[in-house]
Amino acid sequence: MKTLKEYLEAPGGRKQFEADIDDIMELFDFEKIARVMDFLNWGWRIGEKDMDTLLAQGYKVFPADEDYPGNGLYVPKVKDITIMARKIITDTVESALEAEERGEFEERRYFVDSAGFYCELEIVDDEIRKRAWGDDAPDDFEHSVDIVLRFVLEDNLGKFV
């Protein structure tokens, strides 16, 4: 079985990976996520951003207090959410490659979750690939590597809702 690195470095592998990201980004409803986050006052940590600048740009912000430690929180807009989603997908692949180099990718599945997103990468087993695509399925990135992005809401008990 090929490694993730081999799939990415094969002719057309990186291009197919970029096409997969583009497909995910095109099909994902980032506007709905922004509406939900706004409705729930679900914010991301301000970090290095300036609160006054965020306010001037029309962001909803929550100053730091015991509920919002650090510099406080801001509710992201669609643009921020799409940038974060693309970063999460890229980080998942890069983290999986690093895990593979360390010999920690035996299950051939890797995930990253952050900012409400859950991204999973899996190298599909040959048998499953053949069942899905047929016996003559190419052993390439498109037919062998599965990337899934989800936006997840959880209640305070850790159960998915």
Radius of gyration, CA atoms only, the chain: 19
Q: Tell me what pLDDT residue 78 has.
A: 97
Cα–Cα distances (Å) from 92 to 43, 76, 103, in that order, read 22, 21, 16
- Three-state DSSP at 76 gives coil
> According to DSSP H, which parts of the chain are helical?
4-9, 13-27, 30-40, 51-56, 78-101, 126-133, 141-144
155 band by pLDDT with thresholds 50, 70 and 90: low
Of 27-36, 45-54, 117-126, 144-153, minimum mean pLDDT range = 45-54
Q: Tell me what pLDDT residue 127 has.
A: 78
Q: Is beta strand 73-75 parallel, antiparallel or unpaired with respect to 60-62?
A: antiparallel
Of 72-76, 118-122, 133-137, 157-161, minimum mean pLDDT range = 157-161
pTM attached to this predicted model: 0.83
141 band by pLDDT with thresholds 50, 70 and 90: confident
**Burial group, residue 130, by CB count within 10 angstroms (0-12, 13-18, 19+):** middle
Q: Tell me what pLDDT residue 160 has.
A: 44
| Measured distance CA(112)–CA(105) in Å, rounded | 14
**Burial group, residue 123, by CB count within 10 angstroms (0-12, 13-18, 19+):** buried
Cα–Cα distances (Å) from 105 to 21, 73, 99, in that order, read 22, 35, 6
